[in-house]
């Protein structure tokens, strides 16, 4: 069983020496436990935060521990009446070839409804993040202008599509013309602005001339300030993430334009998708319905080889992914 373990707490961008690649015997399963052969692991920006010491919404990964990650795979042995060999499941089994978990910590997935890796993306944690973040925290309504950063990524791509389903206008922000073309032409956003372009601030004007009712923030930093400068009365700013700041070696930069919250009677609220665990079923059901109707498109970027994990994780921070980034663990 090959595994990636956390060897050191990174300073800035994670380095190869922050990881240890180990090989161990397959784990034995105890009462009510299930052994899973992992097919795909989810690569998430949040993993960078889990590597840090300190108080957060979830304890840090310990030094020497297998790196935490969402996974999907196939049951190979089970001591639970709820799972049998051949079932496909999702769960937090980490960066390794095989993982075990208590039956209560695994969820069955249906490979007939969608390819199993979709349960790490649109029908998994990023999909639920977009769903509850936009509908519950963002309280989107018909006619709103929804601005979303990280628009070509796993969460952002769904935020704009759900906004459209709800009768809102969707404006994305993404890095580069190819990503913006994908967001508009394939995902159906009304506009997408390339924040790396010299004309970015100028380009924002036309699509945001009616102002911003919901800003769904995936990146933080300067883009959050640019969005705050354009909010409407009673705007909702959803703090989902701040990927531009995760590798900082200096404190995270807060918004300079926060006073616009006062001026426009607006609200800025953070959330963690795990807050909604009791409502996941409701979210997945609606996401699957929209997907089945052809109203939601999911894109998965599959990279291969467990040994490539450290390099593939960094793609998230370099903008080298479009859609949901996953690592294929199972060998062909
Ligand atoms: P993505 O698929 O969006 O991948 C990350 C993307 O971030 C990159 O492709 C890149 O796109 C963009 N990016 C990287 N660095 C920068 C930068 N310096 N400035 C601007 N953009 C940058 O990841 P996810 O969809 O999985 O996650 C999106 C956000 O949502 C993250 O902040 C994550 O932490 C957060 N999140 C929060 C959850 C919660 O419960 N609150 C749950 C899940 C995710 P580009 O090429 O456009 O720059």
pLDDT tens digits along 239-296? 999 999 999 999 888 899 999 999 999 999 999 999 999 999 999 999 999 999 999 9
pLDDT digits 0-9 by tens, 138-186: 999 999 999 999 999 999 999 999 999 999 999 999 999 999 999 999 9
pLDDT digits 0-9 by tens, 163-172: 999 999 999 9
For the chain, the straight-line distance linking the first and the last C-alpha, in angstroms and rounded, comes to 16
Q: Would you say the CATH fold of 125-274 matches that of 2-121+298-328? A: no
- Exposure class string for 103-129: b at 16+ Cβ within 10 A, else e: beebeebeeeebebbbbbbbbbbbbbb
The proportion of the chain whose per-residue pLDDT surpasses 90, expressed as a percent, equals 98
For residue 179 and ligand 1, the question of a CB distance below 6 A is answered with yes
For residue 174 and ligand 1, the question of a CB distance below 6 A is answered with yes
Structure tokens at 94: 């980490």
- Report phi then psi at 106, rounded to 5: -115, 150
For residue 239 and ligand 1, the question of a CB distance below 6 A is answered with no
Length of the chain: 332
pLDDT for position 105 = 97
Structure tokens at 26: 């397959």
For residue 155 and ligand 1, the question of a CB distance below 6 A is answered with yes
Mean per-residue pLDDT, 82-98 = 98
Relative to beta strand 231-239, strand 267-270 is parallel
Cα separation, 223 vs 241, in Å, equals: 12
Question: Do 146 and 138 form a contact (C-beta atoms < 8 A)?
Answer: yes
Ligand 1 centroid, distance to 125 Cα (angstroms): 13
CATH superfamily of 125-274: NAD(P)-binding Rossmann-like Domain (3.40.50.720)
pLDDT for position 253 = 81
Cα separation, 71 vs 89, in Å, equals: 8
Query: Which CATH fold topology does 2-121+298-328 show?
Result: Quinone Oxidoreductase; Chain A, domain 1 (3.90.180)
Query: Ligand 1: which of 92, 155, 277 to mutate, judged by most atoms within 8 Å of the beta carbon?
Result: 155
pLDDT for position 332 = 82
User: pTM, whole model, 2 decimals?
Assistant: 0.97
270 beta partners: 239
Q: Name 45's Cβ contacts closer than 8 Å, sequence gap at least 6.
A: 241, 243, 246, 316, 317
The separation between CA 284 and the C-alpha centre of its own chain, rounded to angstroms, equals 15
- Exposure class string for 39-51: b at 16+ Cβ within 10 A, else e: bbbbbbbbbbbbb
User: Structural domain boundaries of the chain?
Assistant: 2-121+298-328, 125-274
Closest protein CA for atom 17 of ligand 1: 244
pLDDT of 71 strictly over 90: yes
For residue 301 and ligand 1, the question of a CB distance below 6 A is answered with no
DSSP string for residues in 27-54: PP--TTEEEEEEEEEE--THHHHHTS-S
pLDDT for position 128 = 98
């Amino acid at each position: 069983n090959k595994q990636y373990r956390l060897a050191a707490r990174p300073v800035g961008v994670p380095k190869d020496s922050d990881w240890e690649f180990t090989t161990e015997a397959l784990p034995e399963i105890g009462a009510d436990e299930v052994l899973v052969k992992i097919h795909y692991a989810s690569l998430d920006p949040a993993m960078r935060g889990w590597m840090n010491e300190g108080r957060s919404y979830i304890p840090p990964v310990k030094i020497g521990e297998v790196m935490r990650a969402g996974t999907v795979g196939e049951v190979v042995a089970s001591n639970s009446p709820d799972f049998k060999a051949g079932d496909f499941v999702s769960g937090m089994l980490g960066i390794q070839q095989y993982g075990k978990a208590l039956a209560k910590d695994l969820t069955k997935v249906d490979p007939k409804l969608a390819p199993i890796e979709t349960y790490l993306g649109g029908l998994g944690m990023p999909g639920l993040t977009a769903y509850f973040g936009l509908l519950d925290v963002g309280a989107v309504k018909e006619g709103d202008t929804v601005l979303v950063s990280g628009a070509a990524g796993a969460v952002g791509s769904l935020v704009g599509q759900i906004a459209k389903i709800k009768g809102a206008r969707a404006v994305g922000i993404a890095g580069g013309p190819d990503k913006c073309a994908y967001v508009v032409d394939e995902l159906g956003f009304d506009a997408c602005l390339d924040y790396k372009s010299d004309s970015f601030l100028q380009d924002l004007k036309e699509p945001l001339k009616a102002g911003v009712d919901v800003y769904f923030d995936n990146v933080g930093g300067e883009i959050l300030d640019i969005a705050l400068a354009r909010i409407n009365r009673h705007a909702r700013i959803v703090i989902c993430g701040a990927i531009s700041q995760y590798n900082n070696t200096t404190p995270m930069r807060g918004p300079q334009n926060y006073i616009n919250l006062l001026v426009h009677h607006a609200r800025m609220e953070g959330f963690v998708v795990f807050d909604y665990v009791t409502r996941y079923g409701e979210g997945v059901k609606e996401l699957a319905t929209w997907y089945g109707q052809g109203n939601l498109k999911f894109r998965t970027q599959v990279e291969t080889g467990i040994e490539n994990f450290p390099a593939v994780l960094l793609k998230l921070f370099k903008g080298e992914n479009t859609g949901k980034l996953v690592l294929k663990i199972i060998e062909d």
